[in-house]
Amino acid sequence: MNIAEYVIGTLVFGISIFLIIVIMLQESNTKGLASVTESTSDSFYNSKSKGRTFDAKLARLTKICAVLLVLLIVSLGILYAYK
């Protein structure tokens, strides 16, 4: 194994642990059966401030970490294939 494989492997491990933590910090989007019968008038306000909430930032961070994790795993696979 060369140094690049160790570095990428360590990054994959670190990002996967970080991704688990970020996913566990997010609120659940399901409201159960109450979402079917409930009608709220504050949907306009929620749609305007959706990008500024903590959950929206966590969702964006989850997407970035997931893409980075996939890219690192593919690059690690390429390094092992051309050994």
Which sign does the torsion angle of CA 70, 18, 64, 1 carry? negative
Q: With residue 29 as reference, give the H or E element that holds it.
A: none
Is 42 a domain residue? no
* Count: domains in the chain: 1
In this prediction, residue 31 carries a pLDDT of 67
Across 34-40, average pLDDT: 59
Residue 82 is assigned to a structural domain of this protein: yes
- Single pTM value for the model: 0.71
Q: Is residue 19 part of a domain?
A: yes
Domain-located, residue 31: no
**In which band, very low, low, confident or very high, does the pLDDT at 60 lie, cut at 50, 70 and 90?**
very high
* Contact by Cβ (8 Å): 58, 5: no
Residue 38, in any domain of the structure? no
Decide if 33 is inside a domain.
Answer: no
CA gap 36, 21 in Å, rounded: 30
Evaluate whether residue 12 is within a structural domain. yes
Q: Phi, psi (5° rounding) for residue 26?
A: -75, 150
Give residue 75's domain range: 1-26+51-83
Any domain includes 10: yes
- N-to-C CA span, the chain: 9
CA angle 47, 19, 78 (to 5 degrees): 120
